[in-house]
Amino acid sequence: MTPSRGPGRRPGTPDTRGEVLTAARTSFADKGFERTTIRAVAASAGVAPAMVHHFFGSKEDLFLEALAAPFDPRVVLRPVVEGPPDELGLRLARTFVTIWEDESRREPLVALVRGAMTSEPVAAMLRDGFLRIIASVLGPAVAGPDPLLRLQLAISQGLGMELFRYVVKVEPLASTPPEELIQRLAPVLQHHLRG
């Protein structure tokens, strides 16, 4: 009689990490960020929840990997909230432009933006997961009434600039020097975020 195995890595050499990632993408797309659980992803992939934690760490880490995000907003946005409040818009504008000016990040970001415009599952992952993570980092720095609306307005301002400059390539926005773009965008972001 063959001894029974507990949950965990299956015998053989399957791409367990890849199967967990596939299960996570499906769950995040179908159920959204909030209703996806590590336990359910693990069950779908046929592994123990500890295996998912081993490969990916937290649910947020798993989500960012599933989304194939070219940066971790928790890391990139942390310095934005750490400086003086009256320069919040400037720091956020600089971060937006710096990320999109980096050619190694631009192509995956363009793919995400285009995917969100044509695929409801991708849009749901961005809306329910990625924006939630961004809000968890930037939210405490937002002042005034309606902080979530203020934050969404600031993000939409940055996303609109990125769409016109890097995806559609509308002139003269597409050829405006990055520092000028930062200086023009910063007051608008400051207004949205701090009032």
Quick: pLDDT tens for 80-121.
999 999 999 999 999 999 998 988 888 777 777 777 777 787
Per-residue pLDDT, 159:
87
Task: Please give the domain boundaries of the chain with CATH numbers for all domains.
Answer: 16-67 (1.10.10.60), 73-194 (1.10.357.10)
With bands split at pLDDT 50, 70 and 90, how would you rate the model's confidence at 14? low
Residue 149, helix vs strand vs coil: helix
Asked if the model's pLDDT at residue 133 lies above 90, the reply is: no
Asked if the model's pLDDT at residue 169 lies above 50, the reply is: yes
Q: What is the pTM of this model?
A: 0.73
b/e code 87-118 from CB counts within 10 Å (16+ = b): ebbbbbbbbbbebbeeeebbeebeebbebbee
